[in-house]
Structure 1
Amino acid sequence: MMMSSPLDLRVRQVWPVEEPPGWRANWIGPSVAEGATNVAFLCRHAFRLGSSRPRRSVLHIGAESSYLLYVNGALAGRGPVRGTAAVTYFDTYDVTELLQDGENWIAIAAHSPNTPTFQASPQAPAVIAQLDDGDDVATDARWQVCLMPGWRPDVEMYTFQIGFTEWQNHADLAPSWSVGGDVAAGWTAAAAVRIDKDLFPRDIPFLTDQRVRPSAVRTVFSVPAEDGQASIAGNLATEPHSNLSLPGVSGLLQEPSRSIELERPPAAGGVGLIIDFGEIVNGAVEIAVTAPRGTVLDLGYDEQLNRNRRLSTAAGDYRFADRHILSGSRQTVTGIFGRRGFRLVELVFRDAAGPVTLHEVRAVQRRFPYVDRAAFSCTDARLNQVWNACVETLKSCATDVFVDCPWRENALWLTDVPVESLSALQAFGDGRLTERCLRLLFSQVRDDGLVPAVAPAGDVPALGDVRPPDWLVLPAANLYVTFILEDFLLYTGSSEFVVGFLPKIDAILDTFRSWVGPDHVILPPDRHWNLIDWSYEFVDRSTHSARKHAALDYMFVLALRSAARLHEQVGDSDRVASLSEEARVRWTQLRAVYWDDARSLFADLPAAGQGTSVDRRSG
């Protein structure tokens, strides 16, 4: 079945790839209208193997931007890791145990937002795949392709950072589509697609899947018939709830889970539950259910109950909800392509023509495979809880990159990497995710040496004439790169990786030098978002509005000192001396600019007496 979530245990994920394939395959995809967004499509290919087939069959697959891989109907993989406008990645699987003598099918369900988000920056809906053995199995015009039956493309954005809401009618998708069935779905020969990106092998291990059972059912309720509101999330947030008693609902919390039956309410409408998993989940929810064909299942997500003991599924422009229309047989409903972050999930079953049997509800944590290397324990139970909470938070924010949060953005921000990287190095002794984040960010490097502070750098609504790639360049964040690399080198000793970044640091520092005016103060271009820290914004002291600011000037001094130490570690004494002297001179110049004798403190702004003092604010 299409929505089955666990990977088949006969598949072996291959990482690292010791020798990249010689690509015979072409990028292929469906023919879509210009400007089409939120495109989901299927492609498949049949081939035959004799009894003398190879002892090992390895399959490589990439997608713009997400894929689910099936081999003879078994779910064999999902991915890839996120890329940017310049790079994309492929995964590798040993599928030997899934192949058979005679006819075999490889099938792919793929999705492209076809618009830049903070998760993906696709050029077109497309996939590429090939088996290592034999010229016959590589994506080309012999493959069949069709738009995914039941997928609704004209939906709301979940968030502009994450992408679109998922709306799928499972009744429209034949269970046998991945093995040659559903011949009436409009299959055509695949079209060749031009993708002008570097295609690299996956550069981190595969993520772990850990299933989490619910810790509580917070509420059970009935809802009236929908009032015609177009927004699924808006409806979930505002529709009336009437409390229900549901015998046996605690069975969902047990291991193994006990099925419960949801009787249809007397009037037209639906039945809902709010499930609490007791921890923040970054991944997906899985719902095993049997319901009449056409039953609607709406899913809402949040991290906490609001003051009305409901989920805030509609907040500003954000719409934290998905919709699934059920097939009529027992099925497992889960997120198809998108990642979801939550602690609580609201399930609302609507328009059921008969009873709904809920067999099991589980969450799936999808995380970087960190191994605990550090521990903390003391006689203060509260401090022990703080340590555990910090480690758990870090794990929840470590997926294929370090992310800012699971729920709203799930995005890689350069501004978050210094803290997340250093914490991961201390807790896990593993620098691989740090390396990947920096590679990904610098795949977007500009001619001036700066990088956008988010990767991939997606569209941002309401910017007017300012281009997102310009606005998303945060000057201060670019200086953080030196601090990240210094921590990385101290913990890992991996000088080779750091040496490769030294010219990039030099380019960043050169750009900052070009911004220094006759008054010795940095003035970054107003097309860049001059955000230094949210603490300034929250007290109405916007560093972007001020433009010139002590925090940015002194951060540049710290970056010069950090760069000097990096050069010292790799034995470049000349650069150590020049950078150290530059930092000393800058410090002296800035003291004359920012020191306020009358108050005996450094001011935030160049004119003495303006703004709140750095010392006072930090206190």
Structure 2
Amino acid sequence: MQASRKWNAHWIRPEEDKPEKNTYYLFRKDFAVTDRAESYTLYITADTRYRVYINGCVIGYGPPLCVSHYHYYDEHQIKLRQGVNCIAVEVYHLGVAPDSVCGLLCEIASETGRSLVSSDAEWKVTRSEAWRQDTHYFRMSMYAPFQEHFDARRIPDGWMTPGFSDQSWAGSRIIKGQWEDRPPAVLPWGHLVPRDIPFMLETPRLARSVMRVEESIDLLNRMRSEDLSISLSVPGQPLHHATVEKPDQLLRTTGHTVVQCSTDHLDRSFDGVYYPSIVLDFGKSINAFLELEISGEAGGMIDIGYAERLINGHFNNTIEGMYADRYVMREGRQRFRPSTWKSFRYVKIMFRSCVAPVLVHRVQASVTEYPYEDRGEFHSNDSTLNQVFEICRYTLRLCSNDSIMDTPWREQAQFVGDVAAVTLGGIYSCFGDIKLPAKFLKQSAANQLPVGLLPSVTNSANNPMVHPDYSLWWVHALWNHYLYTGEAEWIHRYYPHTLKILQYYMAYIGEHQLLENIPHMTFIDWANVDRRGVCAPHNAIFYGVSACIEKMAVLKGDAHTQAQLQQIRGGIKKNFSRMFFSEERGCYADAWVDGSLSPITSEQTNMAAIYWELCDHMEPSHVADRILGSDPLRHTEAQPFFTMITLRALNKIGRGAQALELIRSRWGRRMVDKGATSTFEEWGLNGSWRTGVFSNVMRTQSHAWSAFPAEFLIRSVAGFEIVEPGCSTVRIAPMESSFNYNIAIPIPQGRVSIKRENGTTQVSAPDNVTIQ
């Protein structure tokens, strides 16, 4: 564990006793520099986010999304000039977490560690009136749940530069802890953690096409003015009154587009004002700050809406994901960049109250993404598999920022099960990165609950859900991270967390030596799986993951836990088929409830039984045929998340070709053939059978838990298996196939390459890696 740095700074806050949610504060401090040092280090964090400037220039923003008791801080290398300098910080206070406190912690130190300036009571602060506070709140979002309304006329001119007159601003209040002489040890920020991942890359991107240019009657939304998505979703008509000249210039970096609302109403006889709007398509979903450079008159409003898809060919973001920004112009040429990135493919830019012409010089997306390197590769002469691989790899990128997200479009949440079961394996396989997976494992462990389980979301305190099987997937991921890196410290450090999870489960082992009646909401998959009573897939997952815990116990020399697990696993193995196998169905039922088998049969249960070798009554191939054969039993189909187990199970019993065909039929026909550029949350976009009854809930088009084929097409097609932790010895058993392929597998020592062409296979690896 990295030691905490010795701070000279104090946590500071505004004078307000209880800052309101969704508020922005401006902190600043002028200070003198007398030496000629080349560079300095800026240490900074805030609750909830900061954007920091030195002498008017943006230095960065952060910190990574986190909970207060495990709070990250950032380090920026900066340059200062001799004489007076200014540090200025926008602090955004989200304010929806139960223990949330608005605060800033900041220090600039020289190369020798000497503190030049640090946050204290002498810093000036004011609550900014440029941002509206009572904007629409989309509760599902972890990162940016509030729409942003920013009025450029109300930001103090020059507040980020030296010499600004801040005499009317209040002084900051030091947040005092139990030990006032030991800054910054104050609650709720009980543990400060240095940023352990790189800063995100930002790359500019222009829109691919102009989808629509239209106008709409401008009617004031008086009752719900806080929600911009309502007006943004009003369908328009062809231009008759408003003006949009040269909209295609928005696809270029030169020239400009002229936009103007209708002015016919000024003669006092025409009824109403029409505002113009432009819908841009960026080609595929991206995570980006949409940046505008414009010239216009003060008071003109620009509303920006973001959407992952169009509805019936029209922009509509009122249904789900009501992400939107408003910019109110000041006079002259100006730029706008929202304080948070959004995930979108389509953007609608709406110009309101723009009676005078507005010149739009540039509309650009500044794409923000984790700096992965494409070290893993899969290329073949099977175009469908190639396309599936590409959309899966891209989705892994899309769902990686300063946290690993389920989807960037809706929640931006680090869901433990999503990440641990699918995303991490894809990251190792496609990129070979270990820093972001390591952050996930540590951040999740830091949120362990007293009962022993992990909360379902671990980058935010705004989601109280707990799925017990998610904790099992975290244990599985912890073991796999150790296997991949060879760093035993991961097991030594987090073995106690694993034991607490095990102890939770041991309390629910019943008279049949199986788990039963677990009170927390078992997840398994977004599908109609029977989770009641003695749940078969939950027992199978526990059986498989407990093997990982047993290996940890061996590594730790914990004979007691090892013996316990042998007994527990023996009981599950002995009784699984006795409890769940149905002679009538020829396969396994989902649960044993109130003395009888559940009527529900699922792919999830049967593939889990095959994968974790729990089939005793019948050959695994016969069970697989009852579910995936030519004449299958009526059953619940696995959604993309749990199809990872289906693919692994098929491959395990020698049916790799069938697994590949499943990838072609599910990801190929249901996603690629529908024009997907990233992987869908479920097989359908416009509804779900997850409860057994169709529900027309919109599903996301950018979900990392659906990206498992990226790992499968690299590792499983290559027959890659880690024999010695750290990949010093690996096993390669390339899949025989009717197609040619080239695969590269990133490992800590470099890359293992497999080339199969016309039935002949070539394997190469770094010199310090043994191939079996």
* Both structures adopt the same fold (TM-score exceeding 0.5): yes
Decide whether the 8 Å contact of 1:237 with 1:310 is kept in 2.
Answer: no
Q: Which residue of 2 aligns with 1:552?
A: 538
Decide whether the 8 Å contact of 2:469 with 2:524 is kept in 1.
Answer: yes
Decide whether the 8 Å contact of 1:64 with 1:127 is kept in 2.
Answer: yes
How many angstroms apart in 1 are the aligned matches of 2:522 and 2:133? 36
Other structure's SS at 2:377 match: coil
Other structure's SS at 1:587 match: helix
Q: Which residue of 2 aligns with 1:86?
A: 69
Decide whether the 8 Å contact of 2:282 with 2:345 is kept in 1.
Answer: yes
Give the superposition deviation at 1:285.
Answer: 1.0
How many angstroms apart in 2 are the aligned matches of 1:571 and 1:429? 30
Q: Which digits, 9 at most, give the CA deviation of each residue in 1:60-95, with x for residues without a partner? A: 111111111111111111111122131111111121
Letter in 2 for 1:265: S
Give the superposition deviation at 1:303.
Answer: 0.8
Give the superposition deviation at 1:114.
Answer: 1.0
Q: What is the correspondence of 1:232-247 to structure 2 with a 5 Å cutoff?
A: 232-244=227-239, 246-247=244-245
Q: Which digits, 9 at most, give the CA deviation of each residue in 1:173-213, with x for residues without a partner? A: 12301125764795110112354121111111111112211
The partner residue of 2:281 within 250, 271, 276 is: 276
Runs (5+) with no aligned partner, structure 2:
177-185, 265-272, 607-634, 639-772
Do the aligned partners of residues 25 and 384 (structure 1) sit closer, same or farther apart at CA in structure 2, a change above 3 Å counting? same
How many angstroms apart in 1 are the aligned matches of 2:368 and 2:106? 24
Letter in 2 for 1:261: V
The partner residue of 2:432 within 408, 425, 429 is: 429
Give the superposition deviation at 1:433.
Answer: 1.1
Do the aligned partners of residues 258 and 535 (structure 1) sit closer, same or farther apart at CA in structure 2, a change above 3 Å counting? farther
Other structure's SS at 1:393 match: helix
Do the aligned partners of residues 176 and 447 (structure 1) sit closer, same or farther apart at CA in structure 2, a change above 3 Å counting? same
Do the aligned partners of residues 186 and 228 (structure 1) sit closer, same or farther apart at CA in structure 2, a change above 3 Å counting? farther
Q: Which residue of 2 aligns with 1:383?
A: 385
Do the aligned partners of residues 218 and 445 (structure 1) sit closer, same or farther apart at CA in structure 2, a change above 3 Å counting? same
Decide whether the 8 Å contact of 1:85 with 1:444 is kept in 2.
Answer: no
Do the aligned partners of residues 262 and 547 (structure 1) sit closer, same or farther apart at CA in structure 2, a change above 3 Å counting? farther
Q: Which residue of 1 aligns with 2:48?
A: 65
Give the superposition deviation at 1:283.
Answer: 2.9
How many angstroms apart in 2 are the aligned matches of 1:448 and 1:388? 41
Give the superposition deviation at 1:457.
Answer: 4.4
How many angstroms apart in 2 are the aligned matches of 1:434 and 1:106? 33
Q: Which residue of 2 aligns with 1:480?
A: 473
Decide whether the 8 Å contact of 1:64 with 1:122 is kept in 2.
Answer: no
Q: Which digits, 9 at most, give the CA deviation of each residue in 1:41-60, with x for residues without a partner? A: 0000011122x343432111
Residue 491 of structure 1 pairs with residue 484 of structure 2: yes
Other structure's SS at 2:133 match: coil
Per mean C-alpha deviation after superposition, the further-off stretch among 151-160 and 393-402 is 151-160
Letter in 2 for 1:36: E
Q: What is the correspondence of 1:40-189 to structure 2 with a 5 Å cutoff?
A: 40-50=24-34, 52-96=35-79, 99-116=80-97, 123-133=100-110, 134-162=114-142, 163-179=145-161, 183=165, 186-189=168-171
Q: What is the correspondence of 1:187-266 to structure 2 with a 5 Å cutoff?
A: 187-194=169-176, 195-196=186-187, 197=189, 198-229=191-222, 230-231=224-225, 232-244=227-239, 246-254=244-252, 256-266=253-263
Letter in 1 for 2:27: C
How many angstroms apart in 2 are the aligned matches of 1:357 and 1:158? 32
Runs (5+) with no aligned partner, structure 1:
1-16, 461-467
Residue 617 of structure 1 pairs with residue 612 of structure 2: no
Q: TM-score, normalised by structure 2?
A: 0.71
Residue 515 of structure 1 pairs with residue 513 of structure 2: no
Give the superposition deviation at 1:496.
Answer: 1.6
How many angstroms apart in 2 are the aligned matches of 1:60 and 1:352? 42
Give the superposition deviation at 1:576.
Answer: 4.7
Letter in 1 for 2:327: H
How many angstroms apart in 1 are the aligned matches of 2:129 and 2:287? 28
Do the aligned partners of residues 271 and 33 (structure 1) sit closer, same or farther apart at CA in structure 2, a change above 3 Å counting? farther
How many angstroms apart in 2 are the aligned matches of 1:576 and 1:175? 66
Other structure's SS at 1:137 match: strand
Do the aligned partners of residues 383 and 599 (structure 1) sit closer, same or farther apart at CA in structure 2, a change above 3 Å counting? closer
How many angstroms apart in 1 are the aligned matches of 2:540 and 2:567? 15
How many angstroms apart in 2 are the aligned matches of 1:334 and 1:158? 21
Other structure's SS at 1:157 match: coil
Residue 529 of structure 1 pairs with residue 510 of structure 2: no
Q: Which digits, 9 at most, give the CA deviation of each residue in 1:124-182, with x for residues without a partner? A: 11111011145551100000000013111111113442321111111111230112576
Other structure's SS at 1:558 match: helix
How many angstroms apart in 2 are the aligned matches of 1:234 and 1:372? 37
Residue 313 of structure 1 pairs with residue 317 of structure 2: yes
Other structure's SS at 2:160 match: helix
Other structure's SS at 1:342 match: strand
Decide whether the 8 Å contact of 1:219 with 1:273 is kept in 2.
Answer: yes
Give the superposition deviation at 1:258.
Answer: 2.6
Do the aligned partners of residues 524 and 398 (structure 1) sit closer, same or farther apart at CA in structure 2, a change above 3 Å counting? farther
Letter in 1 for 2:314: R
Residue 600 of structure 1 pairs with residue 586 of structure 2: yes
Give the superposition deviation at 1:480.
Answer: 0.6
Decide whether the 8 Å contact of 1:429 with 1:491 is kept in 2.
Answer: no
Q: Which digits, 9 at most, give the CA deviation of each residue in 1:482-535, with x for residues without a partner? A: 221232223222222233222211110111011223343434554x32222102
Q: Which residue of 2 aligns with 1:295?
A: 300
Other structure's SS at 1:42 match: strand
Letter in 1 for 2:543: V
Letter in 2 for 1:293: A
Aligned residues: 575
How many angstroms apart in 2 are the aligned matches of 1:514 and 1:189? 54
Give the superposition deviation at 1:257.
Answer: 3.6
Do the aligned partners of residues 591 and 186 (structure 1) sit closer, same or farther apart at CA in structure 2, a change above 3 Å counting? farther
Q: TM-score, normalised by structure 1?
A: 0.87
RMSD across aligned positions (CA): 2.4
Identity of aligned residues (%): 24
